[in-house]
Amino acid sequence: MTITARIDNFLEDKHFLLLDPIEIITANSLGEVPGALQAVENRIKFGGTIALGYVAYEAAGAINSDQITLESNNSTPLLWFCIFKTQVQDTGPDLKPVKDQALSWNHEWDKNSYISKVLGIQDLIREGFTYQVNLTSRFQAHFVGDPIEIYSAMLSSQVGSHSFYIENDDRAVICASPELFFQIESGVIKCKPMKGTRSRGKYSLEDIALRDELINSEKDRAENLMIVDLIRNDLGKMSEFGTVKVESAFDIERYPTLWQMTSTVKGQIRAGTDLLEIFKALFPCGSVTGAPKVSTMEIITRFEDSPRGIYCGAIGWIRYENSQLSADFGVAIRCATLDKKSQTLSYGAGGGITSGSDPESEWEELLAKTSILNRRKVPDGLLETMYFSPQTGFKNLERHLKRVQASAQYFGIDFDLTTVRKSLNETSASINRPSRLRLVLKTSSEVDIEYLDFNEIDRNQVTLALSQKRVNTENAFLFHKISDRSYYKKLRDQIPGVYDVILANERGELTETTTANLALKIEGKWWTPPLSSGLLP
C-alpha cells in the first residue's frame, strides 16, 4: 500500500514529510480500539520514529463505555495509525485553490429541518437536560482529481496549526484544524478549546467590528467558559492534583475566513499515565460535544442523522523523546475525507447550540464553514499604483499607504511602513519625469516597486461601457487592491473598443471601473458609490 503523509504547523512554520512506513495499526470494531491505541504507543516506544493517524468520533464508546454515539457506518476505520521510520523537514505545501471545478455540496438537511433541530435542542436546554449541544451535519461533493489539491485549497482558505494530510490507496484524510485537542511535552499537557466564531468582514472596518462583536459577546464568552470548565474537569482526571490551570481565556485568533475565540488550559500529567488513559480522560474533546459531556452525547444521537466519522475525532502524531511521551493532536474539524473509489468528498460542519442561539444565524454560520474549500482567501500580494512627479512628489501618498496597510492587516501580511517609505524614496530619487509607481506587497512581506511613464489621457477620447457581468459583494477581494488583476482585465476585454468598463454589483448598483474610481454628477452634486456596494476604499 502506498502512503503519503505530511504534518504542517503554520503557526510555528514547521512542516514535515513522513517517509518509510513500517506498520499500519487499525481498529474496525469497538472492541479493537483500546488494544490498538496501546499497540501504537508500544510500537513507538520500542522502535518506530513517529506515528501519525486518527481516532474517529464513534470510537468514544470503546474508550468510555458510558459515552454513546451513532453506530459507525464502517466506511472508515475507528482508528488508523501508520508507524513511520523517517521524518523529514519540508518547506510546506504549495497553496492554491482547487483547479477547474467548484465544489457543489449536497447537505443532508434543508434549512427548515436544521432550524427544527435547533429549536428541539433549545427545549431540552430549558428543561435542564443539557447546557450546550454541538450540533453537526455532513456535506458531500463529487470530486475528480488529486486530493492534495483539496488540502492545498483548504490551507489557502485557512492555514491551521494542526494540519495533516494522509493518503493511501483507499482514501485521503485532509485536515486543516485550527484547534488543539491536546499537546504533550516534557510531562505537561495543554488543551486549547475553541468556542465562539464570527465570519471575517469584507473590508477592514467591517472586519474589526465583527472581531469586537465577538470579543464583547456575552453568549460566546459563556459558551467558551462552559467548555473550559469541562476541559479542566477532564484534565483533572489524569493530572497531578492542583496543577490544572487556565493559562489564558477568551483569546481572539484571526483566520482567513473566521475569527475564533480560544482559551488555553494546562496540567502536569501524573507519572505512569499512558496514551489510552489520556484518551479516556479527554476524548472526545468537549468543544465538539457540549456540556455536560456524557448526557449531551446521548442527545446528539437523537438529533444527528449520520455518524461523524473522523470529523470531531482526533488526528495527530505521537513519538517518544528522552523516554517521555510527546504528542500533538488536533480536534478533527475543518476535516474532509475523500473516498477514492466513489470519488465522494465528505465534510462535516457544526456549531454549539445554547439557549441564546439564533437558529437563522446558526444556519448561516453552518453554510459559511464550507467556504474553506471553495474560496481562496489570501491573495498573492497587494498592489498600489500612485502618481509621482519630480516637482511635486507623490500624489495622495498617505492615502495609498493607509489603504495597503489596512489590507495587509486584514490578510495578516507583515507590513513595515518604514521599509516601504524607504523603498519608495530610493526608487523615486532616480526618476526625472512624471511616472506611475507600482508598489507590490507580497504575502512573504517582500516589497517590489517599479515605475512606468505617465501618459496624460485625452478626456474627450475616453469611452466607457457598462459591463454585462456583475460583481458579487460577498467577494472580499473587491474591497482590497490585490496584485492579480486578471479578473478585471477579463471584464475589460469583454467589450472591445472602449477605454474602460463600468462595473455594477448583483443589485445593479454602480461601483467603479476596472482601473479607476467612479464619480457621478447628479443634479449638480458629485456622488461616489458607497463602500458597501463592493469597491475599493
Domain limits, the chain = 4-373, 379-454, 457-537
pTM: predicted TM-score of the whole model, two decimal places: 0.80
pLDDT in tens, 406-434: 999 888 888 899 999 999 999 999 999 99
- Does residue 354 surpass a pLDDT of 80? yes
Nine-digit cell string for 64 = 468510555
Nine-digit cell string for 474 = 460577498
CATH number 3.40.640.10 is the correct assignment for the domain at 4-373: no
- Average pLDDT of the chain to the nearest whole number: 91
Known catalytic residue: 179? yes
Q: What is the CATH number of domain 379-454?
A: 3.30.470.10
- Does residue 130 surpass a pLDDT of 60? yes
Instruction: Report the C-alpha gap between 45 and 323 in whole angstroms.
Output: 8
3-class SS string, 55-69: ECHHHHHHHCCCCCC
- How are the residues of the chain apportioned to helix, strand and coil, as percentages rounded to the nearest 5? 30, 35, 35
Which comes out higher in pLDDT, residue 160 or 2?
A: 2
CATH fold of 457-537 reads D-amino Acid Aminotransferase; Chain A, domain 2 (3.20.10)
- Active-site residue among 179, 365, 384, 512? 179
pLDDT bracket for residue 100 (50, 70, 90): very low
Known catalytic residue: 45? no
- Active-site residue among 195, 266, 377, 481? 195
Q: Look up residue 93 and give its DSSP letter.
A: P
Rounded mean pLDDT, 119-128: 97
Nine-digit cell string for 310 = 473522523
Instruction: Report the C-alpha gap between 142 and 338 in whole angstroms.
Output: 9
